[in-house]
Amino acid sequence: MQYTEKVMEHFMNPHNVGVIENPSGYGKVGNASCGDIMEIFIKVEDNIITDVKFRTFGCASAIASSSISTELIMGKTVDEALALTNKKVVDALGGLPPVKMHCSVLAEEAIKLAIEDYLSKKDKKEEK
């Protein structure tokens, strides 16, 4: 299996690894068939994602997809981050082997879950 230089860079030196205490939003996804588990933590201020961290248990593609996706949404508005697709993740990595495409989908899903979590908390606050 051949990985791009960008995939290897993000696998060997992943960016934004960690946990945000009391995050604005949190998303966790897993793929039972491959065993990958991804967690995304976001901090949102004035509708802008000001911090994002991830923890991923998985293969090189899963870690690289998590790492690059955090970079793609950092500093973006919530709506811009919601527009992130697995295709944008793959393009930013310079491609993924076909058998590893599901890793980019997990990254997209984890980010969307974190944003949905943030929006549901925000809606509850506004109702009070």
Q: Is the pLDDT of residue 128 over 90?
A: no
The pTM assigned to this predicted structure is 0.93
Token representation of residue 47: 């509708």
Query: Is 59 tagged catalytic?
Result: no
Q: Which entry of 103, 107, 110, 115 is annotated as an active-site residue?
A: 103
Longest dimension (CA), the chain: 53
pLDDT attached to residue 53: 98
Domain annotation for the chain: domains and CATH numbers: 5-117 (3.90.1010.10)
Among 71, 67, 63, CA closest to 36: 63
CA-CA distances (angstroms) from residue 64 to 25, 50, 122?
Answer: 21, 21, 30
Query: Nearest-5° angle of CA 40, CA 41, CA 43?
Result: 145
Give the model's pLDDT for residue 22: 96
Catalytic residue at 34? Answer: yes
Pick the catalytic residue from 4, 6, 17, 34.
Answer: 34
Residue 65 pLDDT > 80, yes or no? yes
Contact call for residues 102 and 31 (beta carbons, < 8 A): yes
